[in-house]
């Protein structure tokens, strides 16, 4: 009697070859990154074509002295930012201002200006209170929508929540107010631009000492692409490969079941061998995809002279997480597929399967802002999320993840994967020959626990 | 040694008892046939022998060993619901199945069987190009490569045309002559009568018949008259001591009541019409099946 490993590997080999020889796999290998990357490319393209239509802004100046300074500050800013310094292409809209005196009926005036905004004759209007110069320093916005009382300066606009103009105008208004304040303090108006000029703040990592030579290494300048793009990219890659490798398992098992292939195989291999063979076949597919992307990506970065950005140190972790994630998700998918009465049932369950990959995507911003905070640490040690979130933290340059955390995370993931494989094998064994009935969740849980 | 020993086996699925306290023995080298209505427990029993299902209670032994979920190259299994990887070539598929079962390359055996079942020229074709009959032959080869000691066939002739059925029957009998024990299930009573050394009928999960055809028929005695007469069944109403008439069109079968005199039946018939054939015989397996599982089961009297 030959051994179990041989049968598992034989099934894995068949499934692996059957998958990688399909046109769908080869096309998917190319299309998946295009789909993921296409979104970013689209955003970049849209950003390269900004809306440069002239924007007219009305200012109602209750103070009587601030509007002129605001307009001057805005025009100086506008003149500086209007054109790209390299291409000389206009990259910002031209802002044109008009000043209005405060009306006897402020409500009617606001309504009239609002109508002009609605009819696109104005982009926005700004109302400056008479007390603006003596107003206390601004505090953080509480975001309380019920608090609709305007402050010392209010901007009225019909634009969306992510309107860049608001930030730009806010900067110009504050600039203008500072100018008036400084002028009142006796600063020479001709020197105001120098006084208010910003300086560039460079960000560096930390200085370190070579443990062998004792030599002190200067800190290197932080690179935004490396800081954000690389961790995000490698996490995206892991998620993409895991999804590409594991999501077909659900429909593959359901189809094998629907086409009555399973019982033939069960005459020759045990349900566990059949499931593990399929899981390892999918793992082989994922490793092939990852090799394609990792080698291709590394060569591409080298070609662009950016090889220093390739996070070689996290590659072993990347593969450890990839293997654990694919085995866990594929086992889960095989169990769900075995329980499905039809391919339609399987499609409905696909979203459940994608949750451990998709949910971490929604946490990216939070984790990147506080990579070593308590919540980030806890989330990245939660086994279903560990592969994605721990890898994200590890791939952040100078992320400072304590050395023990990836190891604890990996042990947790491996233990979780083992439990899932055992539970999935039990469900698979019972459910795979059921026909004409989709088991209830309670039944699946009972089979997972008792077999 | 017996090929299979099943002792007091019960298998339930939820509230349904598929097999209920079943015991049987399959002698080595025999052809053992399961008959019974749909849902009676035949497939579940065969799945337990193949170690695909585990019994809830009782013991299943194959060549004296409890299989306990293990797979063995000694057992070839052809399920009733059988599919094939449609995009593989016939040769590659059969080599995959053969290696999966035996752990070794089986190229020569596959080629030999393809030749034997007249499929050699299809070896390099994809399975999806085969006709249904050819697919069924391929499925059969998958169950017999490499040669098993025990071959389990669930409805092997279902859907086959007569020529393919003859080819398969001949192959099965060849294997049996080579010492292979064959367990098959069938709804075709002629197959059971003509091929099987032993027949076991399972009804509602329980064994209701088990033995050779002759021993089963002996349980019912000689209680059947097969008659062919001008006018057919219309002249058979009201015959003395005849319990039931089954009309096959050209021939009718009469079941005699206990104490019935067949000579008297013949005399009465001759008075009514011209009789062209009259035989007194044991009941057919078909008739026995219907007596047990048919609508009149409640009225049947098992001798």
Where residue B251 sits, what CATH number does that domain have? Answer: 3.30.70
pLDDT of residue B194: 92
* Domain co-membership, B123 together with B227: no
Q: Which two tokens stand for residue A53?
A: 């239509």
pLDDT of residue B13: 85
Closest CB to B52 among A10, A267, A435: A267
Whether residue A371 is predicted with pLDDT greater than 70 in this model: the reply is yes
Mean pLDDT of the region B254-280: 91
CA distance B203 to B189: 15
Q: CATH 3.40.190 occupies which residues in chain A? A: 55-140+147-196
- Pairing label, strands B2-13, B16-27: antiparallel
pTM above 0.90, yes or no: no
**Pick the residue with more confidence: B173 or A369?**
B173
Range of the domain at B229: 222-281
Q: Which of A134-143, A227-236, A320-329, B222-231 has the lowest mean pLDDT?
A: A134-143
CA distance B72 to B147: 12
pLDDT of residue B303: 35
**Pick the residue with more confidence: A134 or B122?**
B122
Digit-coded pLDDT (tens) for A158-179? 887 667 777 888 888 888 888 8
Mean pLDDT of the region A22-38: 76
Digit-coded pLDDT (tens) for A419-428? 988 888 888 8
Sort out which chain A residues have CB atoms less than 8 A from B86's CB and list them. Answer: 259
Using CB atoms within 10 Å of the CB of residue A174, give its burial: 0 to 12 exposed, 13 to 18 middle, 19+ buried: middle
Task: Find the largest Cα–Cα distance for chain A.
Answer: 99
| Spatial contact of A332 and A355, defined as CB atoms under 8 Å apart | no
Closest CA to B76 of B97, B95, B53, B45: B97
Instruction: Find the residue in A nearest to B145 (Cα).
Output: A268
3-state secondary structure of B76: strand
CA distance B72 to chain A (A): 6
Mean pLDDT of the region A251-272: 85
Whether residue B124 is predicted with pLDDT greater than 90 in this model: the reply is yes
Whether residue B10 is predicted with pLDDT greater than 50 in this model: the reply is yes
CA distance A195 to B31: 104
Closest CA to A1 of A225, A273, A196, A305: A273
Sort out which chain A residues have CB atoms less than 8 A from B158's CB and list them. Answer: none
Q: How many CB atoms lie within 10 A of CB A29?
A: 17
- Domain of residue B204, CATH code: 3.40.50.300
pLDDT bin (cut points 50, 70, 90) of residue B302 is: very low
- Please state the ipTM of this predicted complex: 0.82
Q: Which of A39-53, A225-239, A336-350, A384-398 has the lowest mean pLDDT?
A: A39-53
Q: Is residue B301 part of a domain?
A: no
Q: How many CB atoms lie within 10 A of CB B301?
A: 10
Closest CB to A10 among B52, B78, B99: B99
Mean pLDDT of the region A266-284: 91
| Spatial contact of B82 and B76, defined as CB atoms under 8 Å apart | no
pLDDT of residue A140: 53
- Pairing label, strands B198-203, B206-211: antiparallel
Whether residue A147 is predicted with pLDDT greater than 70 in this model: the reply is no
CATH topology of domain A55-140+147-196: D-Maltodextrin-Binding Protein; domain 2 (3.40.190)
* Domain co-membership, B98 together with B159: yes
Q: Is residue B170 part of a domain?
A: yes
Sort out which chain B residues have CB atoms less than 8 A from A264's CB and list them. Answer: 78-79, 82-84, 97, 139, 142
Which span out of A298-302, A397-401, A408-412, B66-70 was modeled with the highest average pLDDT?
A408-412
SS3 breakdown of chain B: % helix, strand, coil, rounded to 5?
35, 30, 35
Instruction: Find the residue in B nearest to A451 (Cα).
Output: B54
CA-based radius of gyration for chain A: 30
Q: Is residue B39 part of a domain?
A: yes
Q: Is residue B296 part of a domain?
A: no
Whether residue A146 is predicted with pLDDT greater than 60 in this model: the reply is no
| Spatial contact of A251 and A337, defined as CB atoms under 8 Å apart | yes
pLDDT of residue A386: 94
pLDDT of residue A413: 93
Q: Which two tokens stand for residue B111?
A: 């080629």
Q: Which two tokens stand for residue B46?
A: 């065969």
Q: How far is CA A85 from its chain centroid? A: 30
- What is the number of alpha carbons within 13 Å of residue B87 lying toward its C-beta? 9
**Pick the residue with more confidence: A139 or A222?**
A222
CA distance B185 to B18: 16
3-state secondary structure of B268: helix
* Domain co-membership, B125 together with B18: yes
> How many domains does chain B fold into?
2
Digit-coded pLDDT (tens) for B142-200? 999 988 999 999 999 988 889 889 999 999 999 999 999 999 999 999 999 999 999 99
* Domain co-membership, B213 together with B226: no
Sort out which chain A residues have CB atoms less than 8 A from B85's CB and list them. Answer: 14, 18, 261
pLDDT of residue B241: 85
* Domain co-membership, B39 together with B117: yes
Cβ-proximal residues to A253 (8 Å cutoff; 6+ apart), any chain: A278, A333, A334, A337, A338, A340, A346, A432
Q: Give the Å distances, CA to CA, from A11 to A7, A273, A277, B47.
A: 6, 8, 5, 21
Closest CB to B50 among A256, A262, A267: A267
* Domain co-membership, B176 together with B249: no
Closest CA to A239 of A311, A289, A284: A289
Sort out which chain B residues have CB atoms less than 8 A from A266's CB and list them. Answer: 52
Closest CB to B81 among A14, A18, A263: A263
pLDDT bin (cut points 50, 70, 90) of residue A17 is: very high
* Domain co-membership, B89 together with B103: yes
Digit-coded pLDDT (tens) for A152-161? 888 898 887 6
Contact criterion met (CB < 8 Å) for A264 and B79: yes
Mean pLDDT over all residues of chain A? Answer: 83
**Pick the residue with more confidence: B5 or B248?**
B5
* Domain co-membership, B270 together with B157: no
CA distance A269 to chain B (A): 6
Digit-coded pLDDT (tens) for A193-224? 788 777 888 878 778 888 888 889 888 777 77
Cβ-proximal residues to B183 (8 Å cutoff; 6+ apart), any chain: B4, B26, B32, B33, B34, B46, B49, B150, B151, B152, B153
* Domain co-membership, B46 together with B176: yes
* Domain co-membership, B95 together with B181: yes
Digit-coded pLDDT (tens) for A285-301? 999 988 988 888 888 87
% of chain B with per-residue pLDDT over 70: 97
* Domain co-membership, B157 together with B81: yes
CA distance A42 to A419: 42
* Domain co-membership, B211 together with B232: no
Q: How far is CA B213 from its chain centroid? A: 12
Contact criterion met (CB < 8 Å) for B100 and A259: no
**Pick the residue with more confidence: A443 or B109?**
B109
Q: Is residue B90 part of a domain?
A: yes
Sort out which chain A residues have CB atoms less than 8 A from B100's CB and list them. Answer: 7, 10-11, 265, 268-269
Closest CB to A1 among B73, B77, B78: B73
Mean pLDDT over all residues of chain B? Answer: 90
């Amino acid at each position: 009697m030959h051994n179990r490993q041989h049968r598992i590997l034989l099934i894995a080999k068949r499934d692996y070859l059957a998958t990688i020889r399909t046109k769908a796999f080869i096309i998917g290998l190319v299309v998946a990154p295009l789909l993921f990357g296409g979104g970013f490319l689209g955003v970049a393209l849209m950003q390269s074509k900004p809306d440069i239509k002239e924007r007219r802004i009305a200012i109602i100046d209750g103070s009587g002295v601030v509007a002129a300074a605001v307009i001057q500050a805005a025009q100086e800013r506008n003149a500086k930012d209007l054109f790209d310094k390299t291409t000389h292409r206009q990259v910002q809209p031209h802002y044109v201002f008009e000043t209005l005196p405060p009306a006897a009926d402020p409500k009617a005036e606001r309504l009239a200006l609002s109508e002009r905004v609605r009819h696109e004759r104005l982009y926005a209007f700004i109302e400056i209170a008479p007390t603006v110069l003596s107003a206390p320093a601004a505090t953080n916005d509480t975001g309380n929508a019920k608090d609709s009382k305007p402050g010392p300066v209010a901007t009225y606009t019909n634009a969306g929540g992510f309107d860049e103009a608001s930030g730009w105008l806010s900067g110009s208004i504050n600039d203008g107010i500072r100018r008036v304040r400084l002028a009142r303090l006796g600063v020479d108006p001709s020197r105001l631009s120098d006084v208010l000029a910003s300086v560039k703040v460079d960000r560096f990592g930390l200085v370190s000492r070579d443990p062998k030579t004792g030599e002190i290494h200067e800190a290197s300048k932080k690179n935004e692409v490396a800081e954000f793009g690389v961790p995000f990219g490698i996490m995206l890659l892991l998620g993409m490969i895991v999804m590409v490798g594991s999501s077909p398992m659900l429909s593959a098992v359901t189809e094998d079941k629907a086409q009555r292939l399973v019982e033939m195989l069960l005459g020759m291999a045990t349900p566990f061998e059949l499931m593990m063979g399929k899981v390892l076949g999918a793992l082989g597919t994922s490793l092939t995809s990852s090799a394609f992307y990792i080698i291709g990506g590394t060569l591409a970065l080298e070609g662009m002279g950016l090889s220093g950005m390739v996070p070689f140190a996290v590659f072993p972790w990347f593969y450890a997480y990839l293997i654990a994630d694919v085995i866990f998700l594929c086992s889960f998918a095989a169990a769900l597929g075995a329980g499905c009465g039809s391919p339609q049932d399987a499609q409905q369950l696909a979203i459940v399967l994608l949750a451990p990959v998709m949910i971490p995507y929604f946490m990216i911003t939070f984790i990147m802002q506080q990579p070593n905070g308590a919540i980030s640490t806890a989330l990245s040690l939660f086994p279903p999320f560990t592969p994605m979130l721990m890898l994200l933290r590890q791939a952040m340059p100078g992320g400072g993840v304590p050395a023990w955390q990836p190891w604890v995370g990996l042990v947790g993931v491996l233990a979780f994967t083992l439990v899932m494989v055992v539970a999935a094998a039990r469900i698979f064994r019972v459910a795979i020959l059921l026909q004409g009935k989709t088991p209830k969740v309670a039944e699946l849980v009972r089979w997972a626990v008792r077999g | 040694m017996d090929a299979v020993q099943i002792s007091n086996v019960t298998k339930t699925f939820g509230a349904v008892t598929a097999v209920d306290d079943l015991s049987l023995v399959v002698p080595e080298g025999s052809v053992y046939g399961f008959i019974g209505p749909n849902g009676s427990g035949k497939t579940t029993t065969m799945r337990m022998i193949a170690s695909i299902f585990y019994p809830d209670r009782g013991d299943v032994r194959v060549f004296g060993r409890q299989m306990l979920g293990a797979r063995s190259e000694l057992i070839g299994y052809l399920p009733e619901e059988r599919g094939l990887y449609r995009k593989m070539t016939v040769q590659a598929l059969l080599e995959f199945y053969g290696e999966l079962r035996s752990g070794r390359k089986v190229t020569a055996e596959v080629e030999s069987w393809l030749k034997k079942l007249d499929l050699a020229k299809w070896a390099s074709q994809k399975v999806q190009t085969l006709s249904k009959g050819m697919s069924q032959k391929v499925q059969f080869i998958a169950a017999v490569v490499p040669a098993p000691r025990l071959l389990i066939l669930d409805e092997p002739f279902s859907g086959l045309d007569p020529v393919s059925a003859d080819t398969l029957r001949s192959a099965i009998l060849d294997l049996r002559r080579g010492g292979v024990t064959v367990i098959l299930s069938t709804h075709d009573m002629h197959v059971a009568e003509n091929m099987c050394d032993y027949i076991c009928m399972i009804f509602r999960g329980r064994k209701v018949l088990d033995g050779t055809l002759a021993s089963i028929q002996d349980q019912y005695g000689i209680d059947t008259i097969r008659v062919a007469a001008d006018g057919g069944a219309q002249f058979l109403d009201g015959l003395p001591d005849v319990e039931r008439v089954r009309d096959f069109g050209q021939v009718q079968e009469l079941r005699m009541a206990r104490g019935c005199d067949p000579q008297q039946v013949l005399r009465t018939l001759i008075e009514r019409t011209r009789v062209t054939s009259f035989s007194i015989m044991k009941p057919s397996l078909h008739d026995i099946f219907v007596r047990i599982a048919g609508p009149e089961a409640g009225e049947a009297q098992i001798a």
